[in-house]
Amino acid sequence: MTDVLKTAKNCRHYAMCKIDFLGSGLCRSGEERHYVSFYPQGRMDLYAALAENRVPVTPQCVEIAESCDLCGRCDYPCYFVTEMKPSAVMKALKEHVRRYLESGGEVLAPEKDGILDGMKGIVGDGWATNDRAIAVTYADDPCPAAAPRLPAYVVMPDSSAEISALVKFLNRHGIPYAVRGNGSSVMGFVMSEGAVIDLGRMKTIDFDEKNWLVKVGAGVAAFDLQKAVVARGYRVNVAEPSALVCANIMCSGIFSTFSASYGTAADNYVDAEFVGPDGGVFRLSDPAAPNLFGFRREDAALPGICASAAIRLHAVTADESAVFVPFTSLAGALDFSRECAMRRIGLAIGVLGGEYISTFLSPTAKLADQVKSAFRDKLKIAFLVLVIGDAHALRAVREMGYHGFDSRLMRILNLGLPSLTSAGWLDLIGELEEEEPFSYLGLAHFADLAEAALAPSPAQLAAAVDPELRPFFEEIYARPEMTDPVWLNMFRIVSARMGREKHVVAMIVYLPIDNRLIAEIDAEFRRIAGRHGLKNDFGFITPLDNGKRCVFEYDYYLDQNDEEEKDRMRQAMMEAGMMIGKFAAETGTVTWIRHVFRQGFCRKECFLYQGAGVSE
Amino acid sequence: MNRGGATAGGPYLLTGATGFLGSHVMAGLLKKGEGVVVVGRRAGGESLAERIRRLLEWFGIEHLQERLELHEADFREPRLGLRPDEYELLRRRALPIIHCASDTRFAEKNREAVMAANVGSLAGILDLARGGPARCFHFISSAYAAGSDGAECREIPVHSRNFNNVYEESKALAESAVLAFCRQHGVAHTIIRPAIVYGDARTGRSLKFNALYHPVRSLLQLRDIYLADLGKNRGKKSAACGVRLLKDGRLHLPLRICIPNEGKINLVPVDYFTAATLAILDGPENGAIYHVASRRPAAMAQLTAFSARFLGLSGIEVIHGAAPAAETRNPPEELFDYFIRPYRPYISDRRVFLRENTDRATGAMDPPDFDYDVFRRCMEYAVAADWGRKLFSIPGGQGEKEGKRDKGVER
């Protein structure tokens, strides 16, 4: 396999090329044509399919190749997350098509299709296609549990009326369909042999500040919404930046570290507009609407297509900041996070694995690996609890007797990461840890000393990346928000780095913050992954409902192109599911996210607490 | 020699043989031709045998291995975690016991563990000493078990209830337990109380780099922090606290080390500790307590001057009296104070350790003067050993010449 094909086949489908999170601009053709095929992600899939003779050269294949102007801006976001440079694939795609055409190759036009004409009649000529060059970019994702399925059609409606007409049309013709927002796709939910309804054109963001709401179209990504909301002085609770807000609510209910105070599932929205399976349009606030606030503890069918949602706006104060409190044990971190949640201290709370700093903050895997031991072995950080809050909340944390890495210190560490590997003074600090863990964080001048020792600067951090991209990275690391933990947690642009080396499969469980129970489940996740030879790690834990419950993510990793590893992953996922089921039955307090899938609009109480308000 | 029921001569049963003092006692006994029965634990995934093998190599006495007998134990368990027959056999052999094993952590948060290791686990070890008339129980304690409320410390049982930390307190409690047990069961016994032990004064070699080494290492780290700032950050942070490079290449690092009074640091080199201990073992007096301490302890000012010279620093001052208010301290002062916090009670110590028994046992053998040459040898070895991290990878066998100079040392 050539390096270019390897890059193409390793696209994680995290869709970070579809949001302009670095301010470097989006792929122009993607913004105009909206089909995923016109974004770098789609071109990666298309090139891989062409190189492996899975699709012919079609008219839209030619258009996709020719619409790339080789501006190279796709390298910035992709390198930021995965260290891959897709521009090489873009060049190879153009070259492949050019040579094919020059050699007199036939451009295979799709056949006439009455169904397609019917869909075009609903959405317009440019927004429905049966071209295989488009279809192949909707055929697969890295989820090991879902097999590729090439859709016959891809259609992009622009309103609930169009969705309604489409659903009725597809029902009439007995064509199955899957719905997607055209954000990240890693769960295997958005493939169909019939039609894929891509809602990516529905990018409306309408504010209703009087009611603390923002009405969001189904094609709006979390990053774009947060950006628009922050510009007006608010915040919303959203998940991964490239995830589509409506799809994310539908899929799993939005949970983030801010869920500690903003909640999850139905807590995040006030109303939503749906197109039901019969094509009828309804709003959740309508008393006659289907009850999506309820919950069934079983695998659920799609209750409808969410066309828009009215999302809650939250207030932001000027004194918000963050602190990362380190712990040598998970139990200590859980105790602290529970105490904060029960006392309602902080807006966002997250128990993070000790590798959080090295993986998330390092621009390269190599640097992450080098600094990992500084945090783990020298500073003895096994876990960190992130608390974001206003000045009162952070003062309360200090008054509780905890010291941590504050926003300033995190910025110093981030921009000085490369110097950490040779910082001898960390050894001394590490040795004192035996006596008083993390007491150095209580020193009034510790940040000054760290700044002197690490000489942090955007240039220093940028020196770790590919020389070609250094000037750009130096410029972005000079922006205050790129090292501001509050901004980074609101926009979550660094968490996708978890998948830098391998694709991440997140195991998510809701349960009480019970140290023993969590330790047991954590150990079981680890044991199962170990038995199947899978890379695995603690993800994060965020308290929910004032510390009565929490959401716990444990991550398994796989090479998405390694069939044998995918087999092992499937086996591990099955065993993990059985393990969670066993704990659920034994405790009556554990819920698996599998049952929340497609029921994310429900009230969180319905799945967090068995028995109360649950429709069985 | 037999004084008051205490018997000299081995083989000896030794605990703590993998520690700093215990390993030197082990090596000293082996070199003297004595047999040593080591009872110790595995640690860090390494068996006792592997740990001892590395130590013998470090001492350059692998050839004496045949005089050793090893018993892997766990002092927290009943019968020290040994098989019943193994334990019983050891007991019946009536060996003189040297109990060196100890948890030397100071922090209050480790109280439970320190007490368990230093006091709780004594019962099983003392039980080994019960029964035979020939045995003697030698307990390696600490001069600082004397407590913190008297200037003159005599070689008598502890009466103080005031201690600087849980380590001192645990040693005092352990002494009481040893005395009570031995008196009750008629076991001859001695207590050996070393002051602060550092490396070998002749070679600079050491297995542990705390205590004396800690302030020096702290200054070295501070120096490197500001050298990094001057080198990579145009000295932005250095200028703010008056740190600058001098024309002679030294770094001017304004740093006040505040200690409550002039006081002293009572240091003895490990070669002296070993020689004194072996002399005591040669002629133990039942019930005697021995202070293995210096008659002429060093002063903090002297240690500071040595450190500044060794590290190429200027601007370090020792100030006697109350510490300045936190807000008036500069960053290096605050970090240095943090680094040496556990050792504060020992750097301005007014206690004088009388050593009548020790003089009698050792022929009034004195430790060598703590001069700059001794200091330099020890610190050069510490730097070469990367303060313990490269301890077993330093070339040069017994290490007479391995104290190589590291970056910028003694500029």
Residue A256 pLDDT > 70, yes or no?
yes
CB contact (8 A) between residue A448 and residue B326: no
| Mean pLDDT, residues B176-202 | 95
Q: Please, which residues 9-68 of chain A have a Cβ atom closer than 8 Å to chain B?
A: none
Q: Chains A and B: how many Cβ contacts under 8 Å?
A: 74
CA distance B98 to B277: 10
Distances (CA, A) of B59 to A60, A339, A529, B22, B23: 77, 52, 45, 13, 9
Which pLDDT belongs to residue B410? 42
According to DSSP, residue B207 is labeled S
Ordered by start, the domain boundaries in chain B are 2-194, 213-264+298-349+369-393
Strand B97-99 relative to strand B12-15, pairing: parallel
Strand A503-511 relative to strand B188-194, pairing: unpaired
Per CATH, which fold does B2-194 belong to?
Rossmann fold (3.40.50)
Q: Which residues in chain B have their CB less than 8 angstroms from residue A403's CB?
A: none
Closest CA to B206 of B403, B408, B32: B403
pLDDT (tens digit per residue) in B351-373? 899 999 999 999 999 999 999 99
Of A46-50, A466-470, B294-298, the poorest mean pLDDT is in: B294-298
Residue B386, min C-alpha distance to chain A (Å): 10
pLDDT (tens digit per residue) in A14-23? 999 999 999 9
| Mean pLDDT, residues A431-436 | 66
- Residue from the list B228, B238, B334 with its beta carbon closest to the beta carbon of A445: B334
Which pLDDT belongs to residue B402? 36
The structure tokens 């500044």 sit at: B308
Q: Please, which residues 392-421 of chain A have a Cβ atom closer than 8 Å to chain B?
A: 419
Residue B19, min C-alpha distance to chain A (Å): 17
Q: Which residues in chain A have their CB less than 8 angstroms from residue B330's CB?
A: 445
Residue B131 pLDDT > 70, yes or no?
no
The structure tokens 């949602």 sit at: A309
pLDDT (tens digit per residue) in A463-483? 999 999 999 999 999 999 999
CB contact (8 A) between residue B229 and residue A455: yes
The structure tokens 């978890």 sit at: A498
pLDDT (tens digit per residue) in A10-46? 999 999 999 999 999 999 999 999 999 999 999 999 9
Asked whether B126 and B135 are in contact (CB, 8 A), the reply is: no
Q: Which residues in chain A have their CB less than 8 angstroms from residue B329's CB?
A: 445
CA distance A503 to A143: 9
CA distance A412 to A448: 9
Q: How far is CA A449 from its chain centroid?
A: 35
Length of chain B counted residue by residue: 411
Residue A21, min C-alpha distance to chain B (Å): 30
pLDDT band, very low/low/confident/very high, at B179 (cuts 50, 70, 90): very high
According to DSSP, residue B168 is labeled H
Residue B323 pLDDT > 70, yes or no?
yes
**Average pLDDT of chain B, as a whole number:** 89
Residue A30, min C-alpha distance to chain B (Å): 43
CB contact (8 A) between residue A432 and residue B335: no
pLDDT (tens digit per residue) in B138-147? 999 999 998 8
Q: Which residues in chain A have their CB less than 8 angstroms from residue B211's CB?
A: none
Nearest CA in chain A to B214: A428
pLDDT (tens digit per residue) in A354-407? 777 789 999 999 999 988 888 888 888 999 999 999 999 999 999 999 999 999
- Residue from the list B107, B224, B236 with its beta carbon closest to the beta carbon of A424: B224
Residue A406, min C-alpha distance to chain B (Å): 18
